[in-house]
């Protein structure tokens, strides 16, 4: 396929995906009861097979199982090209001023990232949103998990140990102590609407809520969970990451300089592990 035709096809497909997702979002927002009914009793109506918008992928799926190796290579190359384009768009988005992505961009990337990562990521879940989906990450020290905690009990000791515990108190479950502290994320929930009157509600819902952190410049991603309210002043930083997450996402690599995309993780289909996750999976199962 000529490069110009291929580019035109991708632009058309991107526009169609954004339009469809925008209409889905409108239905979900304006008619939540109808959406819930469809999702429960007729789920195929709330899903779109975006493969039909890609002739290359659809054609590949219709081939006989015993296709030739060169055909498989073409399919992988097409998928890799599409992923590269998506990552480039994500990298551009991450460099935008901190805040929320425009709705068409948001819906497009929700769908693309969910497909690429095999996780369901979203900017809005159960009518709750993060205050920032585009953010500049602050490198946090470890936080103590119990009153007698010592820096020597933590990995990456060079990050230091905070004098303050988690917003949600001491960790009493020993099985979760390391995971919760190592992959903790600080989100400035105090910047949410009506924080002063809905503080208890927000804290209850966001407590240990999982988020996906994406550094498109380095093609790195990780699952963390909200353990802190902060940073206090968001003029410079709009999210704080544990030492382990800073390393896993390569957040402060010169290519990214702390610029991240943050989305909520919808675990309705099953629980996800904390820590690094592949950002791109090709048809061969390899990760970039």
Q: Where are the domains of the chain?
A: 98-277
- Assess contact for 101 and 109: CB atoms under 8 A: yes
Per-residue confidence (pLDDT) for residue 52, from 0 to 100: 45
What is the helix (H) or strand (E) element at residue 181, kind and residue range? helix 174-182
Per-residue confidence (pLDDT) for residue 243, from 0 to 100: 97
For 244, half-sphere exposure in the C-beta direction (CA atoms, 13 angstrom radius) is 19
User: How many Å apart are CA 225 and CA 184, to the nearest integer?
Assistant: 5
Query: Which residues of the chain are modeled with pLDDT < 70?
Result: 1-13, 16-17, 19, 23, 26-79, 174-176, 281-288
The DSSP string of 102-154 is: -HHHHHHHHHHHHHHHSS-EESEETTEE-S-SEEEEEEPPB--SSTT--GGGS
Supply the pTM of this predicted model: 0.72
- Assess contact for 111 and 22: CB atoms under 8 A: no
Assigned token pair, 68: 């030739």
Per-residue confidence (pLDDT) for residue 274, from 0 to 100: 94
Per-residue confidence (pLDDT) for residue 271, from 0 to 100: 85
Other Cβ atoms within 10 Å of 283 Cβ, number:
15
Per-residue confidence (pLDDT) for residue 8, from 0 to 100: 63
Per-residue confidence (pLDDT) for residue 59, from 0 to 100: 44
């Amino acid at each position: 396929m000529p490069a110009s035709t291929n580019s035109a096809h991708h632009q058309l497909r991107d526009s169609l995906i954004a339009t469809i997702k925008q209409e889905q979002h409108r239905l979900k927002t304006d008619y939540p009861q109808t959406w819930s009914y469809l999702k429960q009793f007729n789920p195929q109506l709330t899903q779109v097979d975006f493969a039909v918008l890609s002739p290359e992928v659809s054609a590949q799926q219709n081939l006989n199982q015993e296709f030739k190796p060169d055909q498989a290579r073409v399919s992988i190359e097409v998928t890799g090209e599409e992923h590269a384009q998506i990552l480039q768009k994500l990298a551009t988005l991450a460099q935008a001023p901190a805040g929320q992505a425009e709705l068409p961009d948001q819906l497009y990337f929700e769908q693309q990232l969910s497909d690429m990562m095999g996780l369901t990521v979203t900017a809005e879940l159960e009518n709750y949103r993060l205050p920032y989906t585009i953010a500049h990450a602050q490198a946090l020290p470890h936080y103590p998990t119990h009153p007698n905690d010592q820096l020597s009990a933590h990995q990456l000791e060079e990050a230091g140990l905070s004098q303050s515990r988690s917003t949600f108190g001491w960790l009493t479950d020993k099985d979760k102590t390391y995971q919760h502290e190592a992959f903790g994320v600080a989100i400035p929930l105090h910047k949410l609407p009506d924080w002063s009157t809905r503080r208890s509600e927000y804290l209850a819902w966001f407590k240990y809520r999982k988020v996906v952190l994406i550094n498109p410049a380095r093609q790195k991603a990780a699952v963390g969970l909200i353990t802190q309210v902060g940073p206090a002043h968001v003029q410079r930083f709009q999210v704080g990451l544990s030492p382990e997450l800073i390393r896993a996402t390569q957040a402060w690599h010169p290519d990214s300089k702390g610029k991240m995309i943050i989305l909520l993780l919808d675990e309705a289909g099953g629980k996800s592990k904390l820590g690094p996750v592949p950002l791109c999976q090709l048809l061969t199962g390899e990760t970039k």
